[in-house]
Amino acid sequence: MSRWLQIWQEQSSSLGPRTTTPADARVVAERVIDELQLNPGARILDWGCGPAHGSELLAERGIEVLLFDRAHHFIQAASQHYASCERVHVLNESELRELPEHSMDAVLLCSVLQYLDDTEVNDVLQLASRLLKPSGALALIDVIPKAQRLGSELRDVLNSDVLAVAPSAAARNLLALSLSLGRRLRWGLHLRRFEASELIEVLDRHGLRGSPCAHNFKPSRSRQTWIAKPQ
């Protein structure tokens, strides 16, 4: 198990790893619907869903949402939260593997790539390529470009997680951010950054043609969202 995966396997709390805030998740869901032109009846997979705060809005718009995360506590929480929602389905690993080819209108990876090594990136892109319909799209949300600096990252986080939320939530988010940075320094961990040419090449290897959007789907302005489609 990679160190990043070990961290995300920890029980999430105010002291655990930072996740996408509910407000940001709804923004992402709105942009996914608009940019990918998803209509009622569309079927999407959110791989690395975390708390899956945006799934409720997607379901309200008539979209069928399949959730998967390698952190078991996220899966347990999502299963409980969406137990009565007919359009949201939480998958385990065997159910994920059994999904039929070309059955998804979209696959979402939101704030995921920065935590994956080469093997994990290849595995998830291979899965996305297998599952996407010929007309489908892969959304790589919150990709960190190689040129991003720590100052830009911290400014984005402060604007999104501290200044734009209630004081009690801001305090929790600030504590989680501090602990997250402390872990990264203590264990020598780094968020993965991508050159555009590197991402284009790895997508191409899996039969996907990708390009960056004008704006990131999350409020983090220094990061990017890429859309890739089957070639």
The verdict on 173 and 225 lying in the same domain is: no
User: pLDDT: is 161 or 230 the higher one?
Assistant: 230
Domain, as residue range, for 176? 152-184
First and final C-alpha spacing in the chain: 33
Q: Which long-range contacts (CB under 8 A, 24 or more apart) does 198-204 make?
A: 198/146, 199/140, 199/143, 199/226, 202/121, 202/122, 202/125, 203/125, 203/228, 204/231
Q: Which residue has the tokens 């869903």?
A: 49
CA dihedral 141, 145, 148, 150 (to 10 degrees): 60
The verdict on 48 and 138 lying in the same domain is: yes
The two structure tokens encoding residue 201: 């090449």
Q: What is the 3-state secondary structure (H, E, C) of 186-216?
A: HHCCCCCCECHHHHHHHHHHCCEEEEECCCC
The verdict on 223 and 196 lying in the same domain is: yes
List pLDDT tens digits, range 106-134.
999 999 999 999 999 999 999 999 999 99
The verdict on 47 and 139 lying in the same domain is: yes
Q: Are 6 and 167 in contact (CB under 8 A)?
A: no
Sequence-ordered list of residues with C-beta below 8 angstroms from that of 204, at least 6 positions apart, any chain: 231
Instruction: Report the CATH number at residue 62.
Output: 3.40.50.150
Domain count, the chain: 2
The verdict on 16 and 118 lying in the same domain is: yes
**pTM attached to this predicted model:** 0.86
The verdict on 96 and 201 lying in the same domain is: yes
The verdict on 64 and 165 lying in the same domain is: no
List pLDDT tens digits, range 175-216.
666 666 666 666 667 889 999 999 999 999 999 999 999 999
The verdict on 131 and 49 lying in the same domain is: yes
The verdict on 98 and 175 lying in the same domain is: no
List pLDDT tens digits, range 130-186.
999 999 999 999 999 988 665 666 666 666 555 555 666 667 666 666 666 666 666
Return the amino acid letter for 13: S
The verdict on 158 and 48 lying in the same domain is: no
The verdict on 157 and 131 lying in the same domain is: no
The verdict on 110 and 206 lying in the same domain is: yes
